[in-house]
Structure 1
Amino acid sequence: MAKNLMRAVQYKKYGGGVDDLKHVEVPIPSPKKDEVLIKVEAASINPIDWKIQNGIARPFLPRKFPHIPGTDVAGEIVQVGSGVKNFRAGDKVVALLGNGGALAEYALAKEVSTVPRPPEVSALEAAALPIAGLAAHQSLTLHAGLKLDGTGPQLNVLVTAASGGVGTYVVQLAKLANAHVTATCGARNMDLVRRLGADEVLDYKTPEGKALTSPSGRKYDIIIHCTTNIPWSTFAANLTPKGKVVDTTPGLGNMMSAAMKKITCSKKKLVVVLTDPKKENLDYLVKLVKAGKLKPVIDSKHPLSKVGEAWGKSMDGHATGKIIVEP
């Protein structure tokens, strides 16, 4: 490889899926005033990555092509911009990249979206945190009002797709908030979800799982919805009178549904989560991992040279936890 070039993965248009991912050599980028350059040790793939490739954000966040995808990255800082105050070369960090770039040997991150990574937290664990961890954290705290220090009232929480990237974090964080957690997942992952702390686990393919019926007959104060294609009528039948559904799956349809729920007379609500890259939230999650209170669940690891396998696995929708790519 020529000096000042790096290996990366790009796509050049919307659509195309795995077949449009191309391995290239491109110049190593230089950090702007407020940026750090990270030598990537691990990155993770999220469904939003291939949804962006499919054009979900096209109306309001059009991509510039060619585009290097990926938002979650952990690694070591090798260069800092002139205005960066809190980091220096050699620091181990985890970052959420606003404009992609994680699927490469080097990536640029804004200082305001970068947090330190202590030695107790591996690059693999850290890369699994940003998008999924923040979605879980903000769903429970910002939208559902739970207190993760356990000082709030005990609420009944349902987590759908609890063995997925977001769901595995929701289960663990909800238990920190002293919630009673009912979870749905596939039969093969029921024991895992119980180990993460769920009090009741439903196989989503059974009649009870499809109906979201709590084995103990509980109605849910909060439903954290981490999948698709469950009708509002099913949620409404299981909610308390003032219950709330927090939907972590971005899409135009559920945004419209949430808007419609706001103009109806029902006290039952639907809220759609748009993850906010809050540095303090990401730092909090890293510290939970360090303390052993939060465990990232890793589905699989893939070398950058075989990124298509990782991308396809995410598109398939049946990963258990997070999918990691390592340069």
Structure 2
Amino acid sequence: MRSDPASVVPYMKAIVLDKYGSADDLHLVDLPDPKVAPGEVLIRVKAAGVNPVDWKLAAGYLDPIMYTDFPLIPGWDVAGVVERVGPDSPEFAVGDEVYGYVRKDWVQYGTYAEFVSANVRMLAKKPTSLSWEQAAGVPLAGLTAYRSIRRAGVTEGDTVLIHAASGGVGSFGVRIAAALGARVIGTASERNHDFLRSLGAEPVTYGEGLADRVRALAPGGVDAALDFAGGDAMEVSLSLVRRPQRVVSITTDAAEKHGGHYVWVRPDPADLAALASLADEGKLTVHVDRALPLAEAAEAWRLSASGRTRGKIVLTV
């Protein structure tokens, strides 16, 4: 944080977009520090998670459902230290280490910055066992996986099929389901099979013939299926699951037509606290594929869009 010689308003560094665009349109600027409203805290950002939704939102894909203002600071995942507490925000104190999913009611003031303000309902205490980079990789992907698993009713003894199991959401899904005592079958390219085994999943290669490969491992089918991939994952899931009500997708609402569920994750401090507990109990690990400095946000987006990352990409501040 610095002070402009011509003003008493403190300024911060932030990555912004001036209009809908791509990684090429991101640039680093000085902006006034965020205001801190009642029920909010100001967070000094240590790391910010990068998610595919960040660059999809920037391209305008979510414009039909979300209000957006410019200049826009991207990012919803954060790990950092409480710098200031707003009025009537007794849940946190200055100096607390927190992490969270900072998705506000409109899109403009995100986490790709030195500071971000966040409502206390978006935050929880940071898992003590995780680094800043690891913690910043948890919120959106971890909450998505956790919510999906709960909607599917996964419990001990279940056999669960997870599509895109080596990705950001999928890798959390594998660890959470395994922690619940479920048997996990995960789809991934062959280069990621050893990684899936290290997480506790039985890997299968996606693509043509996937249903047959899953049946070879689970002749009676699976109890639940989580579609974190899109494409033909829904069709395959419905052909394998015993009850279509236990199919969950984050890519399409087609599951709802069969009694299943479409999940769009939302901030939830209780779920964040539950994920922190799993991490501190050694049941949830976070694989950070790449950690890049804030100024290299454009490269982080290009890596994310390549679809070849394993685990999470984060920005360090």
Q: 1:204 to 1:232 in 2, by over 3 A?
A: closer
Amino acid at match of 1:234: V
**Alignment partner, residue 294 of structure 1:** 284
For 1:190 and 1:160, how far apart are their aligned partners in 2? 13
> Deviations for 1:256-303, whole angstroms, at most 9, x for unmatched residues?
x345x15xxxxxx44211102111000110111111110011111010
Deviation at 1:231, TM superposition (A): 5.8
For 1:9 and 1:211, how far apart are their aligned partners in 2? 46
CA contact (8 A) 2:291 2:315 kept: yes
For 1:20 and 1:84, how far apart are their aligned partners in 2? 36
TM-score (norm 2): 0.91
Deviation at 1:212, TM superposition (A): 5.7
| Counterpart among 26, 38, 42 of residue 37 in structure 1 | 42
The answer for unaligned runs of 5 or more in structure 2 is: 4-9
CA contact (8 A) 1:212 1:238 kept: no
**Which range moved further: 165-174 or 233-242?**
233-242
Deviation at 1:312, TM superposition (A): 1.0
Deviation at 1:157, TM superposition (A): 0.7
Deviation at 1:36, TM superposition (A): 0.6
Amino acid at match of 1:245: V
Q: Do structure 1's residue 173 and structure 2's residue 176 form an aligned pair?
A: yes
**Alignment partner, residue 230 of structure 1:** 232
**Alignment partner, residue 186 of structure 1:** 189
**Alignment partner, residue 266 of structure 1:** none
Q: Secondary structure at the match of 1:214?
A: helix
Deviation at 1:218, TM superposition (A): 3.9
> Deviations for 1:293-321, whole angstroms, at most 9, x for unmatched residues?
10011111010111111111111222101
Q: Across the two proteins, how many residue pairs are aligned to each other?
A: 306
| Counterpart among 159, 162, 177 of residue 159 in structure 1 | 162
Amino acid at match of 1:29: P
The answer for unaligned runs of 5 or more in structure 1 is: 263-268
CA contact (8 A) 1:313 1:319 kept: yes
> Deviations for 1:156-191, whole angstroms, at most 9, x for unmatched residues?
210111000000011111112221211111111101
Identity percentage of aligned residues:
34
Deviation at 1:145, TM superposition (A): 1.2
Deviation at 1:235, TM superposition (A): 2.7
Q: Secondary structure at the match of 1:49?
A: helix
**Alignment partner, residue 147 of structure 2:** 138
For 1:33 and 1:140, how far apart are their aligned partners in 2? 33
**Alignment partner, residue 75 of structure 1:** 80
**Alignment partner, residue 244 of structure 1:** 246
Q: Secondary structure at the match of 1:7?
A: strand
For 1:8 and 1:87, how far apart are their aligned partners in 2? 24
Q: 1:193 to 1:279 in 2, by over 3 A?
A: same
**Alignment partner, residue 113 of structure 1:** 122
For 1:88 and 1:232, how far apart are their aligned partners in 2? 45
**Alignment partner, residue 214 of structure 2:** 213
> Deviations for 1:111-156, whole angstroms, at most 9, x for unmatched residues?
1211112533321121111100001101011x11124xx4xxx222
**Alignment partner, residue 265 of structure 1:** none
For 1:248 and 1:232, how far apart are their aligned partners in 2? 10
Amino acid at match of 2:200: G
TM-score (norm 1): 0.88
**Alignment partner, residue 8 of structure 1:** 14
Q: 1:221 to 1:67 in 2, by over 3 A?
A: same
For 1:231 and 1:122, how far apart are their aligned partners in 2? 33
Amino acid at match of 1:308: A
| Counterpart among 319, 322, 325 of residue 309 in structure 2 | 319
Deviation at 1:52, TM superposition (A): 1.3
Q: 1:242 to 1:106 in 2, by over 3 A?
A: closer
